Amino acid sequence: MGTEWSVTNFPEKAADINPDDLKGLKSKQVVKVDEKNHPVPETKPDKATLVIVCPTLPAHRAGSGVDFRLFADDQVVAINRLGIYSFAYLQPGKYQLVSQGNNVNGFEMDLEAGREYFFLQNTFGSGPSATETVLSRNSPELVSYLVEGSYFSDWKPKEEKKKNKH
Number of domains the chain is built from: 1
Higher pLDDT, 56 or 63: 56
Sign of CA dihedral 148, 138, 21, 91: negative
Report the distance separating Cα 159 and Cα 10, nearest Å: 37
Q: pTM of the prediction?
A: 0.84
Can you give the pLDDT at residue 7? 52
Assign residue 50 the CATH number of its domain: 2.60.40
Contact 109, 92 (CB under 8 A): no
Can you give the pLDDT at residue 127? 60
Domain that includes residue 117, residue range: 4-21+45-157
Give a yes or no: residue 145 inside a domain.
yes
Give a yes or no: residue 28 inside a domain.
no
- pLDDT per residue over 79-103, tens digit each? 998 899 999 999 999 999 999 998 9
Q: With CA atoms as reference, report the closest residue to 14 among 120, 92, 90, 111.
A: 120
Contact 68, 131 (CB under 8 A): no
What's the chain's average pLDDT? 86
Across 56-60, average pLDDT: 61
Sign of CA dihedral 148, 33, 50, 20: negative
Can you give the pLDDT at residue 1? 45
Across 45-52, average pLDDT: 98
| CA–centroid distance for 18 within its chain | 18
Report the distance separating Cα 135 and Cα 121, nearest Å: 5
Give a yes or no: residue 32 inside a domain.
no
Give a yes or no: residue 114 inside a domain.
yes
Helix, strand or coil, per DSSP, at residue 113: coil
**Total Cβ atoms within 10 A of residue 33:** 17
Q: pLDDT band for 36, please (50, 70, 90 cuts).
A: very high
Give a yes or no: residue 86 inside a domain.
yes
Give a yes or no: residue 35 inside a domain.
no
Can you give the pLDDT at residue 51? 97
Sign of CA dihedral 87, 93, 94, 96: negative
Give a yes or no: residue 76 inside a domain.
yes
Q: Tell me the chain's radius of gyration from C-alpha atoms.
A: 16
- pLDDT per residue over 128-163, tens digit each? 667 888 999 999 999 999 999 999 999 888 876 665
- pLDDT per residue over 4-31, tens digit each? 554 557 888 888 888 888 888 888 888 8
Give a yes or no: residue 39 inside a domain.
no
Percentages of the chain per state (helix, strand, coil), in multiples of 5: 10, 45, 45
